Amino acid sequence: MRLTRRSFLHRSIAGGTAVAAGRLLPACGSGSDDGTPAPVSQSRPLKIPPIFEGSAIAAARMSAELRPGVPTELWTFGGSFPGPTIRVRRGDSFRVDLDNQLDEPTNIHWHGLTTPADMDGHPRDVVAPGASRAYAFPILNRAGTYWYHPHPHGATAKQVYLGMAGFFIVEDDEEQALELPRDERDVPLLIQDRRFTSGVFSYQPTEPDVANGYVGETIFANGVPNAHFEVEAGLYRFRILNGSNGRTFMLRFADGRTFQLIGTDGGLLDAPIAATELWLSPAERVDVLADFSSDPLGTSIALMSESFMVGAAEGGAHGGGAHGPAAGVVRQGARLQLLRLDIKRAASSALVVPSSLSTVERMDRNAAARTRPFELSPREGAASGLHVINGKVFDVARVDEQPPFGEIEIWRVQSRDDVSIHPMHVHGAQFQVLSRSTDALPTDRGWKDTVLVFPLETVELIVRFADYRGLYLFHCHTLEHEDDGMRLNVEVV
């Protein structure tokens, strides 16, 4: 099927929201048209990442058998894949020492957290091999699901792909007062795709991979390929992070059941939103409640990424983008199983979905001091810097934008790219989505640090840098695009 922008159809989401005609088209069929292989023949139990308990974390190589009998080299934080989950409370003073045991520079970016500029993990602030540095900052963010990953210039994609990422969960009194699922029913899910047909990780991007993002055929959940998870017949909270380099997911349960969206990148919504499917691009997080109380014991349900097609006709039948997909790669938008849930036990306690959650301050468009434009476009015929912002390829020494401290601004992000999804991430502040040139998404309702921009779409953000001055970043979180130069330096003055 060859697609043009004018041929796109609407796809409805529960609650009356629709996926817009100017975005993406669901692919035909239930998955066989994708040519999707069974990535791992045997399902393995989901693991929950360990909790960080200490004052130092090492960036180091390790070997693990992700497929029995086949050792895989990983690059990790804290000796685990994913890295250990850091849990803190709002108002805490956080400190950790990074010990770089790799043979190349690295650092830590605290994704979604508001930190002083020199603590943010800017590409200019890297830790040399064999060296260490301390990160220390107060926890200013509201309760929510954040994460951490490296951010060295030109090597972010490789280091994340090889295993360097972990959850950073913030708690506060407001959230703790709600009767939400806790402990084993509060489940962090880091979802990533990898090329794993050989049983090892290999990061060797081709030109099509740089153009389109590095995507794989095997889904890992918390570092486990083809994972399953045993649940009670009750209400669960899933904190879902798309930690992929380039793959966007359309989250949906295989039976189409309704679930509740309760939080986005920057924490809880004001009230739950009923949905049957949600878009989740790289670096975005959603906090959802799923109820298994009506499922008979012994049954199973799959959490899926449903099939969709991306971009204009130049992408071809495989939806791989104008440059075409890399050989043998399962295309962007393929139907994939993310996690199998097995209902094994009666619920130990009964919980209901709260009717209200939090107070979300809405920034006023009329209070904005200015509108700042950002144009996302491809550069045809370029050997590097294939994707640019405002015509610029990233220069670590160049300052591109200077928003004044404390002032409200509207950022108008306009995609001139008719092929690629661009998840755009702001360092140093959370923002809100004001408008889209296509239909709104349920996730637009909350605080965000990463926004999904569809091909040829215009999205307006409202943002205020009100905590720290200094140098931050605005960039695409398709990591191959970022490493290839699709980012700008933003200095808060």
Burial 448-475, CB ≥16 within 10 A → b, else e: bbbbbbbbbbbbbbbbbbebbebbbbbb
Distance CA 334, CA 26 (A): 10
pLDDT of residue 373: 98
Section 247-253 average pLDDT: 98
Q: Amino acid letter at 195?
A: R
Distance CA 281, CA 423 (A): 6
Q: Would you say domain 44-173 falls under CATH 2.60.40.420?
A: yes
- Tens-place pLDDT, residues 136-160: 999 999 999 999 999 999 999 999 9
- Tens-place pLDDT, residues 104-113: 999 999 999 9
Distance CA 194, CA 217 (A): 6
- Tens-place pLDDT, residues 400-459: 999 999 999 999 999 999 999 999 999 999 999 999 999 999 999 999 999 999 999 999
| Banded pLDDT at 310 (limits 50, 70, 90) | confident
Distance of CA 252 to the CA centre of its chain: 16
Residue of 461, 297, 64 whose CA lies nearest to 452: 461
Say which CATH architecture domain 5-31+179-346 belongs to: Sandwich (2.60)
Residues with Cβ within 8 Å of residue 394, at least 6 apart in sequence: 475, 485, 486, 487, 488, 489
pLDDT of residue 327: 56
- What are the CB-based long-range contacts (under 8 Å, 24+) for 175-178? 175/143, 175/267, 175/268, 175/358, 176/143, 178/354, 178/357
- Nearest 5°: the CA angle 245, 88, 275 is 55
Domain ranges for the chain, please list them.
5-31+179-346, 44-173, 365-492
Could you tell me if 98 and 108 are in contact, meaning their C-beta atoms sit under 8 angstroms apart?
A: yes
Cα separations (Å) of 124 from 99, 296, 493? 17, 54, 18
Q: Is the pLDDT confidence value at 42 over 90?
A: no
The tokens for 430 are 């959370």
Pairing of strands 336-346, 227-233: parallel
pLDDT of residue 204: 93
Residue 18, judged by CB atoms within 10 A of its CB (0-12, 13-18, 19+), counts as: middle
Tell me the Cα Rg of the chain: 21
Mean pLDDT score of the chain, rounded to an integer?
89
Residue of 4, 7, 12, 29 whose CA lies nearest to 308: 29
Length of the chain: 493
365-492, what's its fold?
Immunoglobulin-like (2.60.40)
- Location of structure tokens 């139907």: 335
- Tens-place pLDDT, residues 339-384: 999 999 998 888 999 999 999 999 999 999 999 999 999 988 777 8
Q: What's the per-residue H, E or C state across the chain?
A: CCCCHHHCCCEECCCCCEECCCCCECCCCCCHHHCCCCCCCCCEECCCCCECCCCEEEEEEEEEEEECCEEEEEEEECCECCCCEEEEECCCEEEEEEEECCCCCECCEEECCCCCHHHCCCCCCCECCCCEEEEEEECCCCCEEEEEECCCCCCHHHHHHCCCCEEEEEECHHHHCCCCCCHHHEEEEEEEEECCCCCCCCCCCCHHHHHHCCCCCEEEECCEECEEEEEEECEEEEEEEECCCCCCEEEEECCCCCEEEEEECCEEEEEEEEECCEEECCCCEEEEEEECCCCCCCCEEEEEECCCECCCHHHCCCCCCCCCCCCCCCCCCCCEEEEEEEEEEECCCCCCCCCCCCCCCCCCHHHCCEEEEEEEEECCCCCCCCEEECCECCCCCCCCECCCCCCEEEEEEEECCCCCCEEEEECCCCEEEEEECCCCCHHHHCCECEEEECCCCEEEEEEECCCCCEEEEEEECCHHHHHCCCEEEEEEC
Cα separations (Å) of 95 from 86, 171, 375, 462? 11, 17, 37, 31
Q: Is the pLDDT confidence value at 318 over 90?
A: no
- Comparing 303 with 5, the larger pLDDT belongs to 303
Establish whether domains 5-31+179-346 and 44-173 are of one fold: yes
Section 89-103 average pLDDT: 98
